[in-house]
Structure 1
Amino acid sequence: MKKFIFFGASKLGELAYFSLKDKIEISYFSDNDETKWGSEYYDIPIISPYELQKIQKGNKEVNILITSSYHKEIYLQLKNMGLNNIQIFDIQSSILNPDEVNNGKQISEIFFTKYGIKSNNKLFSSTFFNKFKGKKVTLKIDDLNLGIDGLNDKYTLAYRKVQNSPHYELMLYLHNNWALQNCEYIKRLSIGTLDLREAQIVNDEFLDYTREKYEERVNLLNLELLEPIKVAKINNNWFIIDGKHRAALHCLRGYRTINAVEVTEIMYDSFNFWIYKLMKNKEAEYKKNLSLFEGLYY
C-alpha cells in the first residue's frame, strides 16, 4: 500500500481522507497554518512543511498529495522546497498529476435570467488563467475595478472599486468573524447576482468551507505565495478578470499595490463574444457590461 502525506488539513483534506483511507496509507497531514502543527486531523498528526521536507529527504518513496483548493500555489511551494512525488487530489478523479488538472469539460451553455446572463459551465477558471503567460505588472489597489460579470444594469458590479466590492466586505466579515449570512457577497451568491454563476446553495458546510479558504489565503499571503491576479486593460483602466478575492484581501491587509498579469487578449475568446452578442439583443439592459466589451472590440 502506497504511503502518502496529505498537504492541506481542511475541508478538501477531509474529503480526500474519506475517499482514500482504505486505498492508501496516510502517514501525516501537513499544512501552512502553524496553529495546526502538532495537532491531529482524524487521528493523523499534522506536521509543518519543514518536517515534510525532512521526511521526504530521508525517504524518497514518500508521496505527497495536495488536498487544498490552492493546489497551484502549494505545488510551486513544494517544488521550490525541492520536494518530488507530488500529486493533486480531485473530488471526481481522486488523484491527478499536475499536468492533468486543467483537462476539464470545455462545453458551456449561456442563457438569460432576470438578473443577467448565466453560464452552466464557466470556462474561465483560475487554473485556466494560470496557463496564460501575460505581461507582469504591479498595480495600485485603488486603480482596480470589477469587470464584466454578465449581470444587467440593475444588478451589475461592473466598474465597482475593489474597496467597495462585495468581495472586500466578505474579507472584512471573515476577518472579524461576523455572521456571513448578513454580508452582500453571500446574499448575492445565494440568489445569483454575483457573477455568471447561477444561484448557489449557501448552507453551513459552504460557510465553513468559505472560512477555511479565507484562512488558506491569509497563510499564502503571509508566505508571499498567492498567485498574481489577472487583469484586462480597457479604455486605459484596469479591470479584474480573475482574483477578486485576492485583491480584496490585499486591500483589507493595507497593501497599496498588487502583482498582476495582464490577460486582455483572453477576452477576445469566442465564449466572451457570445455573451457580448446576447447582450446586444437587450442592449438597453446591459449598458455597463456592453461598454466594457465595446472598449475591447472597438
Structure 2
Amino acid sequence: MAGVETAKGIFFPKIKYASAFDNFTPEIMNHYESFDESVSKVITELEAAYANPARTKDYDYIRIYHPYKLSKAVLDGELMVKTKDQGEAHKAHFAVTVLLVSSFANSPDSAKKLAGLKKILKQPELIRIKNASLREEPDTIHRPDLKSHELADIALDIFAQTGDTPLLVIGIAHAGTRYAVDEFLRLRTMLSQKNAKNSIFDLFRYSKHYGDSFVKLTHYDEDKLKRESKGRTVVVIGTPDRVDDAYSRFNFLQKGNYDSNQVRIIKGKLKE
C-alpha cells in the first residue's frame, strides 16, 4: 500500500467511498456479466431499481452493471452514427458517463441522470443506439479478478503519484469501465473538496473483443480532452493488456498547444 510522503512523514489518505465491489462475489458477477437484452429493457429495469432500491433483488449489482451496459451501447453506437449526427451522440456519451459515476456512487440523483440519458436517446439520430441489442459473456480472460483491498491499493498508488490535484480520469472501455469508475470515486474522496469537485471522468473504447487496434477518439474527442485536461492531472485506467497502448495514445495532451503547463499523464494499470 502506497503512502504519500510529506514533511511530517508518510500520509495514508482515507478512502471514504463505499464501493459496491466490497461485497461482490465472482459467482454473481459472472451472472450479471452474461446478458442478451435490449437497451429499453435495461432502462426500464434500472428505473424500477432506482424507484425502490430496498425491494430490488441484487440492487447493488443492477446499479453497477446496468449503467455499464448502457455505456457499452452508447460507446459502440457513437462510432457508427453519421458525421452530421455526432453532436447528439456526444450528448449521449456525456450523459452516460455522468450516469455511471452517479450510479456507482449510489447517488439519489441517479434516476434524474438516467432520465436525461433516456431523453437524449429518443432523438431520431440515435435510433441505432436506442434499438441496440446488448450481448456479452463473462470476460474471465481480460477482466481483472480484483478484490476490494486491491482496488484500494491501486487508488492509493495513483494518489501517491498525483497528490491532491484536480484529475481527469479516463477509463478504457469496455473491460476496464467498471473498475475505472470505481477508482475515480475512490480517488475523488481522497482529494480536497475543491479538487474533488473539479475532477472529471471520461470513457473511451479500446476493446480487444472488438479487435480495436487503438483508442477510438474523434477530432471532437481530442479537442474536448485538451480542454478537460487543462489544469488537471490525467489518469488513464485500464486492464494490463490495454493500458500501455492507451496511455501512449493520450500523449497528444502533452504537446502544450494551449496556454498552460505541460499535462501530466499517470498510468493506472489494473492488476492481473
Instruction: Name the TM-score class by shorter chain.
Output: under 0.3
User: Comparing both structures, which one devotes a greater share of its residues to helix?
Assistant: 2
User: Comparing both structures, which one devotes a greater share of its residues to strand?
Assistant: 1
Larger radius of gyration: 1
